[in-house]
Amino acid sequence: MIKIYHNPRCSKSRNGVAILENSGKEFEIVKYLDSVPQKEELKELLTLLDMTPMQLIRTNEKIWKEEFKGKELSDEELIDAMLSHPKLIERPIVVNGNKAVVGRPPENIENIL
């Protein structure tokens, strides 16, 4: 089952949902701001994405600039920051089996359908 980690307030995320709807494939929407991933789930996403925690962080978010910018943080601390402040997680993330992409640009999603 395809899964999209979605923020309805984000236009790129809404575009990602539209791409999945147009694909005709079944998929699950995870509103990750309401249902924050568990630590192991976030680590698995990072593995599937082949990204470091820092690469998945939205560094332009106000919370990042106010609380974390300029600090030396370990990968574990970065993961904990994303779990404490899920707005920091880049979006949307689409998972299809053992593949995952960040839908920025949204067309990236088509590469794993």
| 93 in active site | no
Which residue carries 């899920």 as its tokens?
Answer: 86
- Three-state secondary structure along 7-35? CCCCHHHHHHHHHHHHHCCCEEEEECCCC
Q: Are 36 and 7 in contact (CB under 8 A)?
A: no
Tally: H helices and E strands in the chain: 4, 4
**From 3, 10, 43, 113, the catalytic residue:** 10
Q: Catalytic residues, which ones?
A: 10
